[in-house]
Amino acid sequence: MKRDYLLELMRSKNSVFTTNDVALLWGESDVLFVRKKLHRYVKSGKLYSLRRGIYAKGTAYSKLELATKIFTPAYLSFETVLAKAGIVFQFYGQIFVASYLTREVTIERQLYAFRKIRNSILTNRAGIEVKENAFIASPERAFLDVLYLNKDYHFDHMDNLDWDKVTAILPIYGGNQRMARLVRKHRKAAEKK
């Protein structure tokens, strides 16, 4: 019986795939074979090419899932998570991602803003969850990521933060005293309200 590679892709829970993802899914070590198959599927309209080496099942793919596949390792964080949690009220059209580099990428009129975080922080899974087939920071981790990159940042509503989780995640930032002071300051301000 002939193997149906496309069916295997379509049955996957992911909506976005990299060439490496597909090679792992198929258990195929010949990357050239995988690339040729994917290229044929794109040409025949069975798969959708988003960017070199990144494919989607169709046009209704998850933009959050795509954000974590453009540059890896990466996870959704910063204002994307904070706005969803109601910690900042400002609307941001771009999707913010923690990564090993700083770059902005536009794919199909969606801006993805990558912000560089030190590798030891980036690869630490504390406060990172897998939701919607993407790595997403908890609000507490996103709060700390913003503090890590910004000296002076205004948070609109910090009541939704679990301060015990913030304190538990803080050590992954390497004993950063500036961050520890800011966490104490913000916690005190939130508890006064």
pLDDT in tens, 46-59: 999 999 999 999 99
Tens of pLDDT, residues 72-123:
999 999 999 999 999 999 889 999 999 999 999 999 999 999 999 999 999 9
Share of the chain above pLDDT 70, in %: 99
Amino acid at 40: R
Neighbours of 26 (CB within 10 A): 16
Kindly tell me the burial class for residue 136, based on how many C-beta atoms sit within 10 Å of its own C-beta (0-12, 13-18, 19 or more): buried
The structure's pTM equals 0.91
Under 8 Å between Cβ of 113 and 100: no
